[in-house]
Structure 1
C-alpha cells in the first residue's frame, strides 16, 4: 500500500507541476488537470481500500470528473471557434 500512496503523491505533484509550467495552451492545461483528477482517483481508491469502506463514492467522483472534462472540452471548442487558436495569451477577458 505504501507504493500506491507514494505513486499517488508523485502523480499529483507532477500533474500540478505540469499545470503550472504548461500555461501557453488551453489543451495542455486541460490534460494536466485531467491527470490530477486521475491521481486523486487513485488516492481515493487507496484511502477507501485501507479503511475498508464502500466504493460508491468513487462512482460519484468519476461521474463528476467526466462532467468536468466534458465542460472543459466544450469551452475549448468554443474558444477555438471564437479565437482560432488555443493560446492563453490571445484570450481577452475585457471585450
Structure 2
C-alpha cells in the first residue's frame, strides 16, 4: 500500500511540474497530491492508533487551498479570457 501511495504521489508531482501552461491542470494536480497525502496520513494514524481529528484539520486546510486556487482561476479567466500562463505579462499591473 505504501509503494502505491509513493508512486501516485510522484505521478502527481510529475504532472504538476510538466503541465505548466494551464492553471486548471496545475490546480487539479495539486488537489491530487493533497488527496494522496490525506490517504497516507489516514493510514498512518490508523496504523499508529492515533486520533483521527488531525485528518479533519488537514481536510479543512485542503479545502481552503482549493477555494483559493479556484478563486484565482476565476479572476484570471475574467480578466484575461483563458487560463494560459503565457497569455499575460507578469510585469504588467
TM over 0.5: yes
Aligned to 1:49: 46
- Taking the aligned partners of 2:11 and 2:57, their CA distance within structure 1 comes to 25
Gaps of 5+ in 1: none
Residue of 66, 71, 74 corresponding to 2:68: 71
Q: Per-residue CA shift, 1:15-73, capped at 9, x if unaligned? A: 00000111110000000000000000011011111111010000000011001101100
**Large movers: runs of 4+ above 3 Å:** none
Q: Which runs of 5+ in 2 are unaligned?
A: none
**TM-score, with structure 1 as normaliser:** 0.92
What RMSD over aligned residues (CA atoms) do the two structures have, in Å? Answer: 0.8
User: Following the alignment from structure 2 to structure 1, what is the Cα–Cα distance between the partners of residues 55 and 86?
Assistant: 36
- Using the size of structure 2 for normalisation, the TM-score is 0.94
Q: How many residues align?
A: 92
